[in-house]
Structure 1
């Protein structure tokens, strides 16, 4: 790739205008560069070369528990650089010692089931990223028809979009609001919104970009809370069986209503509400750590191994068994692609922490090194 072309791709990335094809091109360039130099360069030399090419600030992978640096890679807040270096580091380490892997476990992908008002279930195409609801007809994003239920026209019908473990899907609702669903998530929504309000229900995790409409506020109801907005972008994580419900605001303003206590809190961009044991807590956070999943990444900023492996479990459809519970509280900072093999994801965690991983069937066994 010519230097001028590479520079243009970096500019587009920073502006957020990279197409899918351009992302793949930039990722391929980094992967090729790192792999071609794997045998000739040590880790520090590769870091310096990539830093000089990207001219960005490196991101550190570390154990946040004691702030001791274990290794540093020149990923510079770039999604694609992060994917490349994580892959390079993992493959480099396979020449020495590494975790025990007894079979291949592949990442998730576009998988979802659409349930119509009459109970009919449609397994949605895995080659399509999402569906669009328009004029009571459901289309794939390429314009082909999913469903055209004549009997549901002229009336409001509730539908459900469900992603299984290892699944993700997008939907554009009747008002133009876009929702990304993470794995093991169900979104219940109407075929059309009423004249007074817009309301949907979610269990699991979803990222919302709400179409502004001052006359019809948008409400997202989940376990323990209601999120009320007019037009904004935010992430809701409300999985059954998890102790906390988290709402992370990217832009705009939202109102969080605690269903148990009745208290109301207003979030501003860069803030997160956490509801636990009936109480609401507000704190500033690194928003990207909670929204990166919709862009195909695991990204963590001082998060526990237990929380990280919950996400890994849902995405790769594996069970997690701890031989030592103290490992659950180890904390990590870092980033890796959700579309890498699970051995790469666990390999990075193993290199920088105190845990070792063994994959047996569809179970990950976590033990101390």
Structure 2
């Protein structure tokens, strides 16, 4: 694949045909994804360097860049209160981003770290980080490319867990009011612990930790499709259909009423991937062809009944 085409894709300057060409190339081989991630890192660093050069005040202010990914639109964000660092001695102004359903967004933080946020996510971050820690809060799904800083660990706080990194690339799935939780590592090293510090797990590249029956369990990541949601593709690898339905609820902002006993009992599993732009009904019809269930849509209550 031509590197110039990849760079134009990263910056959002490609045609629909070129976009499909890139996505097909990414899906074809894991090495393609690694090459793409390496180029994206270079592009992000150069963008950050240029922005710092342009405005001298960036040493004390947030550097926030909304970049184009597929059909993403600029989202609203607002000042959201006070956030205390781990030392408890210092408070800084927080900003918050909410990503509407069916969209995703990409940000750059004050230290040059990059964050991709999936649909329905809320993300809270300081306008500048403290001298001893870089701490943010996530309710939803996010992919992080963390700038290396051995003196200041990067900590992602979720409703139930914390993920600690120094310089690495990882994904976190932690929507509020759901039992689903996953942290997945692409590069580097992270440590995952619950808020009560009862469990602490260190991950190596191509490993993930998932919540199963109230305990964290470490599993291998079998292929890089897992991280393709940033390109508008959601991927499932032998996941219980019940978990698939729960994720679809969050991604498309609908209520799934699961009546089918086989689905509720996790008797069905699914492996495959979908493009978000194809819509929820297309995804359900594909699942329906492979698994035995029917569904009924109630538009008045925004509910889908799985029978």
Could you tell me how far apart the structure 2 residues matched to 1:219 and 1:29 are? 36
Q: Give deviations 1:212-237, integer Å, cap 9, x for gaps.
A: 11221111112332211111110111
Match of 2:272 in 1: 334
> In the alignment, which of 180, 186, 191 is matched to residue 250 of structure 1?
186
8 A Cα contact 1:137 1:147, kept in partner: no
CA distance in 1, matches of 2:64, 2:110: 11
**Runs of 5+ in structure 2 lacking a partner?**
31-56, 68-73, 83-90
| Alpha-carbon contact 2:186-2:206 (below 8 Å) kept | yes
Pick one of 136, 143, 148 that aligns with 1:207: 143
Contact 1:302 1:331 in 2 (8 A): yes
The corresponding residue for 1:185 is 121
TM-score by length of 1: 0.60
**2:297 pairs with 1:359:** yes
Whether 1:225 and 2:161 are equivalent positions in the alignment is: yes
CA contact (8 A) 1:165 1:317 kept: yes
**Using a 3 Å threshold, how does the CA distance of structure 1 residues 363 and 289 change in structure 2: closer, same or farther?**
farther
Match of 2:112 in 1: 176
Distance 1:227 1:301 in 2: 23
The answer on whether the counterparts of 2:142 and 2:171 sit within 8 Å (CA) in structure 1 is yes
- Kept in 2: contact 1:258–1:264 (CA 8 A): yes
Counterpart-to-counterpart distance in 2, 1:277 and 1:221: 21
Cα offset, 1:318, TM superposition: 1.9
Counterpart-to-counterpart distance in 2, 1:307 and 1:296: 19
User: Which of 282, 296, 299 is the aligned partner of 1:344?
Assistant: 282
Structure 1 residues 140 and 289: alpha-carbon distance in aligned structure 2, compared to 1, 3 A threshold: closer
Separation of aligned partners in 1, 2:296 and 2:214: 37
**SS at the partner of 1:269?**
coil
| Aligned-partner Cα distance in 1 for 2:110–2:63 | 10
CA RMSD of aligned residues (A): 3.5
Distance 1:27 1:355 in 2: 34
TM-score, normalization by structure 2: 0.71
> Which deviates further from its counterpart, 175-184 or 239-248?
239-248
Query: Gaps spanning 5+ residues in structure 1: where?
Result: 1-10, 31-53, 57-74, 79-132
Higher mean alpha-carbon deviation, 160-169 vs 307-316, is at: 160-169
> What SS is found at the alignment partner of 2:110?
coil
Q: State the distance in 2 between where 1:215 and 1:316 align.
A: 40
**Following TM superposition, by how much is the alpha carbon of 1:28 offset from its aligned partner in structure 2, in angstroms?**
6.1
Residues 133-174 of structure 1 show CA distances to partners (whole Å, capped at 9, x for unaligned) of: 9442565547x9x8999xx9xx83112222244442222110
User: Structure 2: how far apart are the matches of 1:291 and 1:326?
Assistant: 28
Does the 8 Å contact 1:225/1:257 carry over to 2? yes
Task: Name the counterpart of 2:152.
Answer: 216
Q: Residues 243 and 276 of structure 1 are in contact (CA less than 8 Å); yes or no, is this contact kept in structure 2? A: no
Aligned length, in residue pairs = 255
Give the aligned partner of residue 39 of structure 1: none
Q: CA deviation at 1:185?
A: 1.8
Higher RCO structure, 1 or 2 (CA under 8 Å, sep 6+) = 1
Larger radius of gyration: 1
- Aligned residue in 2 for 1:314: 250
Please state how far the C-alpha of 1:22 moved relative to its aligned partner: 4.7
